Amino acid sequence: MYFCKSTELFKLNIKKREFNTIHKFRPALLTQPQFYCLSENQMVHCLASINDGIWYNYDTDKEIDLDELYHVDFIKCITYDQEDDCFYFLANKKKDLLGFYLFKFKEQNPLKFEEITVWNSRLDIDNCTIAILRGHDPVTKMYFKELIVAYKTIYINTYNVVVMDISGPEEERATLYIHESF
């Protein structure tokens, strides 16, 4: 089991009742991480707080500051897709503009990333969730894979759900559904 604080990443051995530092962040995070996600083999760690986002590869001992790389702030959610070996993360601010900014990058290379959605809405968001839905449509007999992002918009008190098709080639992907309610 892994856990972290603003300066270090630890590995916990429950049977031996001990923990070992596996990485010290360079520099230390500004605040305690709120989001923590691991790759399937647990060698790649992605963690974030409202001010910081860090990608760390345990095998290579390489650390990349995601918020500086993507010019984002207010990271709201991170999730991992084991089928495609990639991370998705949602930020609320990019280059000092409030909005809805959804990114995707491969587990082994955060330098090569994709901006899935860039909405400069000028609105704060919170209570965010990212989920991946997979399955087969019994009518068409086709495989589907969808990214579902849900969030609350602050001050105007709306709850939003966005469903995106992520199953086929990138040029065929589309936003399937957007719901907003008070």
| In contact, 137 and 129? CB cutoff 8 Å | no
Instruction: Measure the N-to-C terminal CA separation of the chain; round to a whole number of Å.
Output: 39
Residue 138 in 3-state DSSP? coil
Nearest CA to 108 among 124, 92, 84? 84
Lowest mean pLDDT among 109-113, 117-121, 159-163, 169-173: 169-173
Cα distance between residue 32 and residue 50, in whole Å: 9
Average pLDDT over residues 100-112: 93
pLDDT of residue 31: 80
Structure tokens at 19: 């923990």
Whether residue 6 has pLDDT greater than 70: no
Gap between the Cα atoms of 149 and 145, Å rounded: 13
Average pLDDT for residues 18-25, to the nearest whole number?
A: 78
Asked if 72 and 52 touch (Cβ cutoff 8 Å), the reply is: no
Residue 176 vs residue 26, higher pLDDT: 176
Query: Is 2 a residue whose pLDDT tops 70?
Result: no
User: What is the pLDDT at residue 3?
Assistant: 62
Q: What is the rounded average pLDDT of the residues 14-38?
A: 80
Domains of the chain: 2-181 (2.130.10.10)
Predicted TM-score of the model (pTM): 0.85
Half-sphere exposure of residue 63, counting CA atoms within 13 Å on the CB side? 16
Average pLDDT, the chain: 87
- Residue-wise pLDDT tens digits, 53-98: 889 998 898 999 999 999 999 999 999 999 999 999 999 999 989 9
In tens, the pLDDT along 122-169 reads 899 999 999 999 998 888 888 889 999 999 998 888 999 999 999 877
Measure CA 151 to chain center.
Answer: 14
| Rg over CA atoms, the chain | 17
Q: Over 90: is that where the pLDDT of 173 sits?
A: no
Task: For residues 163 and 146, give the distance between their C-alpha atoms in angstroms, rounded to a whole number.
Answer: 6
The strand pairing partners of 38, in sequence order, are: 45
Contact 135, 141 (CB under 8 A): no
